[in-house]
Amino acid sequence: MTVERDVLTTQQAAKLLGLSTTSVQKMVINGELDAWITPGGHRRIFRSSVDQLLNSRNAGLAGVTGNRPLRILLVEDDPVQIAFFKALLARIGHSVQLTIINQAEQALDHIRALRPDLLVTDLVMEPMDGFTLVQAVGDEPGLESLDVIALTAMSPQEITEDARLPTRVVRYQKPLSADRLCGYLDALTVKLLEQEALCV
């Protein structure tokens, strides 16, 4: 018989793991957390599987959340957009190390030096635009797998017609919502956790 202290709701598991409920639900679906469904249709997650994940973090298998913050490089030339992005990060509460570059032509050297976990770039900038930067990152040996978010006020049709943005790049319309950014960072944290665990 499963007693109440042995199981958690999705919300309780999310709070313990420092993730959104959506990310925890995906982890359950992917088999990363053990769970079952009550007769009333509610998901219950075994606390033992959550504890196991937390213990692996404490052992250093999840360095991105336990030992260091996520490294994010923001390439943006608009001070208003920079302030907005910083406010979003403060609102969602993720532990991040944010580096801000105002010109795309300077970004590649910073990416090589910093090795960020995530590149977030505007697309419309001068003299080098975000399209050119993303292409350069994709062509750089060792950087082709870098996670990239492109922020833009351009319409999806305009981006498609331009045809310079690789399909692997995640595109978000400005203004970016806190929920969308939080969900992406949650998923990135889980991915990096899994990658580090495989390297141990």
Sketch out the chain's domains with CATH numbers.
4-61 (1.10.1660), 66-197 (3.40.50.2300)
* Cα 10 from Cα 125, distance rounded (Å): 42
Average pLDDT of 26-50?
A: 85
Average pLDDT of 54-59?
A: 58
Residue 65 has pLDDT above 80, yes or no: no
Tokens of 109: 């050297």
% of residues, the chain, pLDDT over 90: 38
* Cα 41 from Cα 37, distance rounded (Å): 6
Opening angle at CA 64, ends 199 and 151, nearest 5: 115
| Three-state DSSP state, 118 | strand
